Amino acid sequence: MRIRWCTALLIGLLVSPALAGIVVSFYPPAQVWLPSGDATVNIVANIPESDAIIGWGLDLGLTGNPAALTGPPVIGPLFTPAYAPDGDGLAGLVPPPDVVWGSGIVLASLALHTANPLGTTYLDASVTPGDLFEGFMTENGFAQVSFVQGVITPEPASLLLLALVGLLRRR
């Protein structure tokens, strides 16, 4: 019986940090490039009430198929845009004395474009350790954050057309 209690306690200690903290992801998590090479995606966060935030700042990485923002990010409606010294514009403040918490909180909307809508682009949100302009600020300091990668893939019809053209050229 003692082994069961110790095992349950150990599992509880290992699982509890995974349940706590803020999770940042992209919505939709898997997007399809339009034939024009355009896509729109939101950066969203699930913020537990225990980690209610007063401000945030992020970095955005785009890897794989070369893509670029078509304009500055649009900061979510619950936040006031804030200064981001790295120039990406991904920072927001909560007007005092409010705090923000909840599921699916929109941090920012991004409009992206690529010259090659047949390639896959990976979206990575992150924070630079030690950078006081990045992270999720609570009334008691910075909250722990985990990130979920987003992806923008080619439109299936475009891939089918590309394969068909490849078969026709072979003959």
DSSP 5-30: HHHHHHHHHHHHHHHSSEEEEEESSE
Distance in angstroms (rounded) separating the CA atoms of residues 103 and 22: 10
* Among candidate residues 127, 125, 156, 143, the one with its CA nearest the CA of residue 62: 125
8 Å CB contact between 121 and 114: yes
Q: What letter represents residue 17's amino acid? A: P
pLDDT, one tens digit per residue, over 119-154 is 999 999 999 988 989 999 999 999 999 999 999 998
Other C-beta atoms lying within 10 Å of the C-beta of residue 49 = 8
pLDDT confidence of residue 153:
92
8 Å CB contact between 144 and 48: no
| Average pLDDT of the chain, as a whole number | 85
Domain, as residue range, for 116: 21-170
Is 15 within a domain?
no
Is 66 within a domain?
yes
How many domains does the structure of the chain reveal? 1
Is 81 within a domain?
yes
Is 13 within a domain?
no
Is 10 within a domain?
no
Is 166 within a domain?
yes
8 Å CB contact between 21 and 146: yes
Is 4 within a domain?
no
* Residue 155 pLDDT class (50, 70, 90 cuts): confident
CATH number at residue 101: 2.60.40.680
pLDDT, one tens digit per residue, over 26-49 is 999 998 998 899 999 999 999 999
Q: What's the pTM?
A: 0.80
